[in-house]
Amino acid sequence: MKTDKIFYTLFQVFPELLFQLLGQSPELAQYYQFNSIEIKELAFRLDGVFLPDENRPDDPIYFVEVQFQKDEEFYWRFITEIFLYLNQYKPLRPCYAVVLWGSYNLDEGLPLPYQDFLVNQRLQKIYLDQIDPQTPRSLGIGIIQFINAPPLEATQQVPLLINQAKEEITEPLFQEKVIELIERIIVYKFPLKTRQEIEAMFNLVEWKQTRFYQEAKEEGKLEGKLEGKLEGKLEGKLEGKLEGKLEGKLETISSFLRLGLTPEQIAEELKLDLTLINQYISSQGN
């Protein structure tokens, strides 16, 4: 599952989630904007940066990274990227690094040269399998727990999350975006399950009535995600006939755009050239 991409989308939808996980007031989120930022000279991107309001000079920048696998180079790379950002943008405010580890046993420890970061609390680690039970229960926290839940628990959580979204979110478009995010996590979390198996597994009575399901079925998107059958043809506005797996990937672009992903994120998600992604988006707008 593309867990890091899910989390970055989650922070876009629920920016207060970071502050809940840090034990701070979720109200702080109103003074921040969550972005991905490119370091131009070296052509790499920091995927998760919480930038504070310019009118609040004492509020820190938070650099957030999600890690669901062991990586001996992780801290070397992450902290180096932060210092490159600081060199390029030169922000005159405090900065903190936050790592969301999928589980405690994935963290191999901070390299010796960087251990002062821990002493000075400039680096904060959150282990998602050890979230404090006293953390206030919110829809965002519930979605995190669903991402980390074993299959048996997940089957019980999904209907509860969807009902919670319907009860707590009154703005229709925002509610729809959150429910689509939950559905997207289902698709990624159970990639080998068929559509029928997912319906039975989660007892999703309303699954077939959702816009996500209807559009995915119409264009062959859900079949491509769940069954590996990428069908259909893209005609007319893109040159040539794009068949098979490529067609199926292109047809998922609209869903990713609705979920708030940028063309660059979509290109990385689908392992396709950014030019092709932009061509497809332009063709749909004509």
pLDDT in tens, the chain (286 residues): 567 788 888 998 999 999 999 989 999 999 999 988 877 655 567 889 999 999 999 999 999 999 999 999 999 999 999 999 999 889 999 999 999 999 999 999 999 888 887 767 889 999 998 887 666 678 999 999 888 888 778 878 888 898 899 899 888 888 888 888 888 888 777 777 776 777 677 665 555 555 555 555 555 554 454 444 433 434 444 444 444 455 566 667 777 776 667 787 787 777 777 878 877 777 776 4
Tell me the per-residue pLDDT of 125-161, one tens digit each, with 9 for 90 and over: 999 988 876 666 789 999 998 888 887 788 788 888 9
Task: Tell me how far apart the alpha carbons of residues 229 and 22 are, in angstroms, rounded to a whole number.
Answer: 42
Indicate whether this model's pTM tops 0.75: no
Beta strand pairing call for 32-39 and 44-52: antiparallel
Q: In terms of Cα–Cα distance, which of 142, 140, 101, 105 is closest to 3?
A: 101
Strand partners, 32: 52
Task: Tell me how far apart the alpha carbons of residues 108 and 71 are, in angstroms, rounded to a whole number.
Answer: 8
